[in-house]
Amino acid sequence: MTIDKSFYQHILDKQQITGAVPSNKEIADWALQVIRLLYPEQSSRLFTYVHQLESEFKKLEHMLYDILNATRGTLDEKNEQLSIAFFNGLPELYRILNNDIQATFDGDPAAKSEFEVIRAYPGFYAIAFYRIAHALVRLAFWARGMTAIRDGRMEWPGFSYSEAEWARMRTLDAASSAPPRARSNQPSPS
């Protein structure tokens, strides 16, 4: 069996246009490191001083910049701005993830603590990865001039979720009027 050389040329041309792309594992490892810094319940590494955490977040910011630059299609001066903007938005992402944890805790009577939700619920990982990916996609739109950052908050024309919409999406039973249960940061007793 002989493959026509034009096939090889076609594949080579596609590679030249597309360029190198970081592996899914490399991107997922970076996102997992972000999650583990935000939620020490997921990490075997604990920090003693604030400057250690700041340094680790800065390292992850540089890693994001490197990931963005590793994709030839995104290589430009905006990658540094995108990395900085993502990490400037981290407190808001953390707030939203905490709301997701509370919604999971409220929606599952078997959940014993916030620690358990963070440590043992695979849905938490799915939501956290989605939230990180969504923030990065929003930043990519911003980089294309479709959004603006004002006072540290991202905005873009024609799309926004209100807190009520996020809450409705996070809860399985939007009609439930049960008050939120008190959160515990301690592991549940075995």
Q: Which of 112, 101, 122, 83 is nearest to 38 (CA)?
A: 101
Alpha helices in the chain (DSSP H): 5-18, 24-38, 50-70, 78-88, 90-107, 114-120, 122-143, 163-170
CA distances from 165 to 98, 153, 175, 176, 177 (A): 16, 18, 13, 15, 16
Beta-carbon contacts of 81 under 8 Å, excluding residues fewer than 6 positions away, are 143
Domain parsing of the chain, residue ranges: 22-170
Q: Which two tokens stand for residue 89?
A: 């938005």
- Confidence (pLDDT) at 185: 57
Residue 189 has what pLDDT?
Answer: 54
Q: How far apart are CA 100 and CA 128, in angstroms?
A: 9
Q: In terms of CATH architecture, what is 22-170?
A: Orthogonal Bundle (1.10)
**Could you list the pLDDT tens digit for every one of the 190 residues in the chain?**
688 899 999 988 887 776 667 888 888 899 999 999 999 887 888 899 999 999 999 999 999 998 888 875 555 568 888 899 999 999 999 999 999 999 999 999 999 999 999 999 989 989 999 999 888 887 775 554 433 443 344 444 444 545 555 455 455 433 344 455 565 555 555 4
* DSSP 8-state symbol, 41: G
pLDDT at 107: 92
What sign for the dihedral angle of Cα 65, 78, 75, 130? positive
- 35's tokens: 């999650």
Please give the Cα distance from 79 to 87 (Å, whole number): 13
Residue 186, pLDDT score: 59
Of 57, 55, 81, nearest in space to 68 by CA: 81
pLDDT at 184: 56
Q: What's the rounded Cα separation, in Å, for the pair 169 and 178?
A: 17
